[in-house]
Amino acid sequence: MPVCYTTTQQTIALSGISPTESTQSIVSVSVSSNNPGLFSQLGILPLTATTAQLNYTIAQNASGTAAVTVTVKDNGGTANGGIDTYTRTFNITVNALPTITITPSVAGVIEKGSTIQLTATGGVRYTWAASSPADTVSGSNTATLTVRPGSLSAGSPAKGPYVYTVTAYNASGCSTTQTYTITNTYTPVKLVTSNIITPNGDGINDTWVILNIELYPTSSVKVFDKAGKIVFAQSHYLNTWNGYGLNGAPLTQGTYYYVVDLGGGTKYSGYISLVRD
pLDDT of residue 28: 82
CA 208/CA 212 separation, integer angstroms: 13
Which tens digits make up the pLDDT trace of 232-262?
Answer: 999 988 899 999 998 889 999 999 999 999 8
Domains of the chain, CATH where assigned = 2-95 (2.60.40.10), 101-182 (2.60.40.10), 192-274 (2.60.40)
- Going by pLDDT thresholds of 50, 70 and 90, the confidence category of residue 57 is very high
Q: In what order do the strands lie in the sheet with 144-147?
A: 101-104, 116-121, 144-147, 136-138
Point out which residues pair with 12 in neighbouring strands.
54
Instruction: Look up residue 135 and give its DSSP letter.
Output: G
Range list of H helices, the chain = none
**Confidence bin at 82 (pLDDT 50/70/90):** low
How far apart CA 225 and CA 232 sit, in angstroms, is 9
d(CA 176, CA 234): 48
Report yes or no: 122 and 177 within 8 Å, Cβ to Cβ.
no
Work out whether the CA dihedral 233, 237, 240, 241 comes out positive or negative: positive
d(CA 184, CA 162): 8
- The yes-or-no verdict on residue 170 having pLDDT over 50 is yes
* Range in 76-85, 108-117, 147-156, 258-267 the model is least confident about: 147-156
What does pTM read for this prediction?
0.61
Total count of residues recorded for the chain: 277
For the four alpha carbons of 223, 225, 230 and 231, in that order, the dihedral sign comes to negative
Greater confidence (159 vs 182) lies with: 182
Residues 153, 156, 160, 166, CA torsion sign: positive
**Bridge partners of 267?**
261
pLDDT digits (tens, 9 = 90+) for 197-214: 999 888 899 999 998 887
